[in-house]
Structure 1
Amino acid sequence: MALDRRDLLRGGVGIGAAAAFGAGTPAVADSEVVQGLKQPPRMAAAYSGTPIEHFRQARRLLIDNDNLLGPRHAIAAVREHIEKIKSLRQDTKGADRHDLMELQTQYAEFASWLYQDMGDFGSAEFWLDRAFQWSHTVGDGDLTSYVMARKAQLAGEMRDLVDVVDLAEAAQRMARPRSRLAAVARTYESYGHALRGESSDSERAIDDVRNSLDRVSSDATPWGVWLNEQYLDVHRAQGLEVLGKHAQAAEVFTRAIEALPAGYHRDRGVYLARAAVAHAGAGSPEEAAAVGLQALAVARDTGSGRIMRELVNLDKTLVPWQRQPEVSAFRENFDAVLAHES
């Protein structure tokens, strides 16, 4: 049965996820790999250093690749590496076995992030569940707290009004008191309150995190090191947008985008797309269309479903101004990208 690309996008599926339709669920795909193929043995001696360092370095490179090129270029490698790590664990003992399990957990969380950016929330939840389960095997409290915070973030992106605040509060209870991970979870709680229309609670949570930044900056955990003023601004702007404070949201998004470091190509596109939606909501169609065109260029580079989902909203919001030249240019280019991806 033919699937209409616009219908997929309007249903919340990104370019990358739409391109992967028919690939099967993560559970089915993994089962087929294990049962249908004879896997060659994985030998630690095959690696120039240690297998653990090899896969750590690979994960760092894949993260950089994701920032620049988007999720669809990284997901196959991440899934393959998870299977390789599982295979290596069969013949490994002691500290190395523990470290491989930790890496497997980290790869699962990264797989969830990639699927989340593609707009495939079912697969994102699947891999976060695996990461949460495996993190308990590792016994790393910070890692488990981080995965729980990510569950809250994913619930927020899915606009789950029931679970997002509860998950964020659970992550804070699991985190070390006054730690960076507690602040990360409080950030996601802020957006959850905004989704519920709880403006004061949302602002209070953001202010609490902002006041803690100096204290948590020295936290030794490797998780959440990106928590800074710009990250908070982005989440505050998201909250303002869903609360209907469009002009204020656009202003805060713009400030955060200007301060974003080089190399965050895909994330810049996400923030541009959300800023464009805020401009449209504030009644500034020319600015919305101009910023939307910038976001569209990043979407074309990366296949980010998060960007495309925002641009679908922008496309619909701009309909009343469709005869304006700037708006017409955006909508024509948007249609061209959809046609190309189809």
Structure 2
Amino acid sequence: MAVNPSGDFADLARRALRNAGYSMKAAARETHYDPAFLSRVLNRKQKPSPALARALDELTGTGGTLAGNLQQDERLSHVAAHPSRIDGAAVSALAGALAAQRHADDIVGPGPLIGAAEAQREALLPMLRDARGSHRDALCAVVSESAQFAGWLNIELGQYARADVLLNEAIALADDIADGSLVAQAYNLKGNIARQRGQHHAVHRNFVAAYVSESAKRQRVVNGAQAASALALLGRRSEAERMLSEIEALREKAVDETPPGTAYWLSPEWLSLPIGHVHHHLGRPQQAAECIRHGLDSLPPEHRNALWTREARAALEEAESA
């Protein structure tokens, strides 16, 4: 598997220090590490230690992201060294690595992650082609998620054509194992591409596809809200109002549901955010502001200014000034 563990860590650590306002020398002083050692780690000349990763997490307030990334890189290296041994533990290690990358994206953004994410997907595809037996479907799900995550990072960087290719691949892989949740997530991201392009009919089409493919109630609320927003923007107000009523009722039923690990942020409070967007597009700024603010405030502090929240923050500012 073409993944450089210490290289990924160095990128993440440098970005985390920069975001927290620390120079390398200041970080070394605060963590009581030798500046020369820290320099070698951040320049990929020496492997980081778990203790250093924990110290930098504490210093930068990244919630264990760096330590988790280092641990998952070590597991990935083990899987890469034994490609013929794809068992349950190996699949779990790969899934864990993806989870660590998703959390890292919330902290440092797509730039330091996209190279490793693309390389990981590229390495997983031949593993899947050669896979047999009872763990093949679980591996296929991880490969679909890997393609989807790489697609998401490309979306964040505005590289929509590449993202669309990856998301189509993710859908095909998810269809291969009849995983409606993964299909829905990929259609959700395709809907986001269409929204960035101002293609409201495509937004509606993709989010309806996500809505009907998904069984998890919280994710259906999100997808339904996006479809309702598109209807409002298309001037189909009565249809938008009907869908809004439907998803608000669904939200009440989703309170006790546990979201999937791939959508860990979907708390009942966060669901106010996409519903707020519907009110915004229906011309109800007071309700929109209340819902969007409630959704943003429910996020952990380190996620509130993540790149993927910028659209919500812009909508909140617009609603509050209306």
TM-score by length of 2: 0.63
| 1:68 and 2:111 correspond | no
Structure-to-structure mapping, 1:1-342, within 5 angstroms: 43-44=82-83, 50-176=89-215, 179-219=217-257, 222=260, 224=263, 226-246=265-285, 249-265=288-304, 266=306, 267-279=308-320, 282=322
2:320 and 2:205 map into 1 onto residues whose CA distance is 31
Instruction: Quote the RMSD (CA, aligned, Å).
Output: 3.2
- 8 Å CA contact 1:44–1:51 kept in 2: the answer is no
Measured after TM superposition, the shift of residue 232 of structure 1 is: 3.4
Measured after TM superposition, the shift of residue 105 of structure 1 is: 0.3
1:229 and 1:190 map into 2 onto residues whose CA distance is 19
Deviation track 1:40-80 (CA, whole Å, cap 9, x = no partner) reads x8633789993312211111110111011111121111111
- 8 Å CA contact 2:218–2:271 kept in 1: the answer is no
Deviation track 1:112-147 (CA, whole Å, cap 9, x = no partner) reads 221222222222222111111111112223322333
- 8 Å CA contact 1:233–1:256 kept in 2: the answer is yes
Q: What is the DSSP-based 3-state SS (H/G/I as helix, E as strand, rest coil) of the residue aligned with 1:139?
A: coil
Q: Which has the higher contact order (CA 8 A, sep 6+)?
A: 1
Measured after TM superposition, the shift of residue 82 of structure 1 is: 0.7
1:269 and 1:170 map into 2 onto residues whose CA distance is 25
Indicate how the Cα distance of structure 1 residues 224 and 58 shifts in structure 2: closer, same or farther if over 3 A, else same: closer
- 8 Å CA contact 1:156–1:191 kept in 2: the answer is no
- 8 Å CA contact 1:145–1:172 kept in 2: the answer is yes
Percentage identity across aligned positions?
22
Measured after TM superposition, the shift of residue 81 of structure 1 is: 0.9
- 8 Å CA contact 2:280–2:288 kept in 1: the answer is yes
- 8 Å CA contact 1:260–1:268 kept in 2: the answer is no
- 8 Å CA contact 1:135–1:143 kept in 2: the answer is yes
2:297 and 2:203 map into 1 onto residues whose CA distance is 29
Deviation track 1:235-277 (CA, whole Å, cap 9, x = no partner) reads 2333344455556544443333333333314045443333234
**Stretches of structure 2 lacking an aligned partner (at least 5 in a row):** 1-79
TM-score by length of 1: 0.60
